[in-house]
Amino acid sequence: MSYLFTSESVSEGHPDKIADQISDALLDHFLAFDPESKVACETLVTTGQVVLAGEVKSTTYLDVQQIARDVINKIGYTNGEYQFSGDSCGVISLIHEQSKDINQGVDRESKEMQGAGDQGMMFGYATKETDNYMPLALDISHKILQALADLRRENKEIDYLRPDAKAQVTIEYSEDNLPQRIDTIVVSTQHDEFDTDDEKMLSRIKKDIVSILIPRVKAQLPPAIQKLFDDQITYHINPTGKFVIGGPHGDTGLTGRKIIVDTYGGKGAHGGGAFSGKDPSKVDRSAAYAARHAAKNLVAAGVAEELLVQVSYAIGVVEPTSIYVDTYGTSNVALNDGEIAIKVAELFDMRPFAIEKRLKLRNPIYLETAAYGHMGKEPVTVNKVFESPYSGRVEKQVELFTWEKLDRVEEVKAAFGL
């Protein structure tokens, strides 16, 4: 019997995502001027206010207020009518030094013996149902909101959009877990005040989303996925009605509240730890990236059609406490999942420092992860510039999304005899 599966995404202007982006912008600046910085930075945004809090150990000093304002303005909160603007909001910093009790378990004389920054379990997932090995419903949800943000910035075909938005996609699957069609698309987008009545306003927004946004998204997808868009899709566009009040004025935002959007949209699993604002000594972040890297290369090599990797740690301990693999019955090799897990441990060094080194995580690469998902994006090398009134100017060439590289496929094939 067929079944339905749903994933959602949120825009860069969603309050929680504003908080994530500010936290990761602060992290990037700390790492740009001091790569050994230890950072755990949280952000709260609400009407006209930003609160920065957390623990930092670093040799550099930053104008954290200005960094927060720059992020807010870049997202698009530049209008006083939004009741939240980068130029006018208050920014309160409550950041203090990292606990020595935590730091003693991480820093060691030998970097290779660096302990995990916390206990916990982290997951990586990959599936062959998309070209980027991501779950389809989440991938389309991200693309809807990225295209909506492009339309907002272009301000041509749709000229009333504001930064806050959410999208949700429901896909019908067959009994053998193959996508058959898109059943439902939900889009809620903040907008300017309209001169017309609410009914006419909603009618125009729905028409524009269905006739302008969705075709733009569909054009980005491969032909096999385009066929899933039929004329029977149910659309819920701004289903609550008028959506003028949004962003931090409509809803308080906090760092780390969109961890399922950040990862796999409810497919696979999640250990519960947030990513944004955390330096890579925090395995909540680095080990989740390493698990994704392993899962993606295993699936790309043909070990399984779908695969989950779990890795777990004890705070201050170098070696992971466990590595687990679930192939969901899709394995293509003559090994059970436990035997596959043993090979994963041999192929991928999951010690915290080894992960940092392998994936080049002590670089300022994190702001780009903080909206539209940490997984599934294209690895790319970019030049980034950071300026500080206290530390001057730094320009760095960095690799983004190193955990998305398919750089271990041949090694995996050799190990599994594929």
Residue range 363-398, pLDDT digits in tens: 999 999 999 999 999 999 999 999 999 889 999 999
Residue 19: inside a domain, yes or no? no
Residue range 36-78, pLDDT digits in tens: 999 999 999 999 999 999 999 999 999 999 999 999 999 999 9
Quick one: pLDDT at residue 75? 97
339 is in an annotated binding site: no
Question: Residues 301, 363: one domain?
Answer: yes
Average pLDDT over residues 107-135: 84
Question: Residues 334, 372: one domain?
Answer: yes
d(CA 40, CA 71): 18
The count of domains in the chain is 2
Backbone phi and psi for residue 127, each to the nearest 5 degrees, phi listed first: -145, 150
Residue 253: inside a domain, yes or no? no
98 is in an annotated binding site: yes
CA angle 54, 57, 62 (to 5 degrees): 75
Instruction: Give the C-alpha distances (Å, rounded to integers) separating 131 from 167, 322, 377, 399.
Output: 21, 30, 11, 21
Quick one: pLDDT at residue 224? 95
Q: In the structure, what pLDDT confidence band is assigned to residue 109 with cuts at 50, 70 and 90?
A: low
Residue 222: inside a domain, yes or no? yes
Q: Which domain holds residue 151?
A: 3-10+135-247
195 is in an annotated binding site: no
Question: Residues 124, 146: one domain?
Answer: no
CA angle 309, 315, 318 (to 5 degrees): 70
Question: Residues 237, 293: one domain?
Answer: no
Q: In the structure, what pLDDT confidence band is assigned to residue 111 with cuts at 50, 70 and 90?
A: low
Backbone phi and psi for residue 375, each to the nearest 5 degrees, phi listed first: -115, 150
Question: Residues 225, 292: one domain?
Answer: no
Among 231, 247, 263, the domain boundary falls at 247
Whether residue 101 is predicted with pLDDT greater than 60 in this model: the reply is no
Question: Residues 327, 381: one domain?
Answer: yes
Residue 200: inside a domain, yes or no? yes
Question: Residues 235, 287: one domain?
Answer: no
Determine the 3-state secondary structure of 187 from DSSP.
strand
**Residue 233 · residue 248 · CB < 8 Å:** no
Q: In the structure, what pLDDT confidence band is assigned to residue 352 with cuts at 50, 70 and 90?
A: very high
165 is in an annotated binding site: yes
Percentage of residues in the chain having pLDDT higher than 90: 88
Quick one: pLDDT at residue 100? 56
Residue 205: inside a domain, yes or no? yes
Residue 184: inside a domain, yes or no? yes
Among 223, 247, 271, the domain boundary falls at 247
What's the CATH number where 166 sits? 3.30.300.10
Among 201, 222, 247, the domain boundary falls at 247
Quick one: pLDDT at residue 117? 76
Question: Residues 231, 306: one domain?
Answer: no
57 is in an annotated binding site: no
Structure tokens at 313: 């740690």
Quick one: pLDDT at residue 110? 57
pTM of the model: 0.95
Backbone phi and psi for residue 369, each to the nearest 5 degrees, phi listed first: -85, -15
**Residue 158 · residue 28 · CB < 8 Å:** no
278 is in an annotated binding site: yes
Whether residue 97 is predicted with pLDDT greater than 90 in this model: the reply is no
Interacting residues of 167 by C-beta distance below 8 A, sequence separation 6+: 8, 9, 10, 11, 141, 144, 145, 148, 185, 186, 187, 188
Per DSSP, what are the bridge partners of residue 172? 4, 181
172 is in an annotated binding site: no
66 is in an annotated binding site: no
119 is in an annotated binding site: no
Question: Residues 300, 240: one domain?
Answer: no
Question: Residues 411, 286: one domain?
Answer: yes
405 is in an annotated binding site: no
Q: What secondary structure does DSSP assign to 305-350, as a single string?
A: SEEEEEEEE-BT-SS-SEEEEE-TT-B-SSS-HHHHHHHHHHHS--
164 is in an annotated binding site: yes
Containing H/E element for 102? helix 100-103
Question: Residues 140, 190: one domain?
Answer: yes
**Residue 19 · residue 258 · CB < 8 Å:** no
Instruction: Give the C-alpha distances (Å, rounded to integers) separating 20 from 15, 42, 271.
Output: 9, 8, 18
Q: In the structure, what pLDDT confidence band is assigned to residue 197 with cuts at 50, 70 and 90?
A: confident
Residue 20: inside a domain, yes or no? no
153 is in an annotated binding site: no
Residue 330: inside a domain, yes or no? yes
282 is in an annotated binding site: yes
> DSSP label at 114?
P
Q: In the structure, what pLDDT confidence band is assigned to residue 198 with cuts at 50, 70 and 90?
A: confident
Q: In the structure, what pLDDT confidence band is assigned to residue 1 with cuts at 50, 70 and 90?
A: confident
Question: Residues 124, 167: one domain?
Answer: no
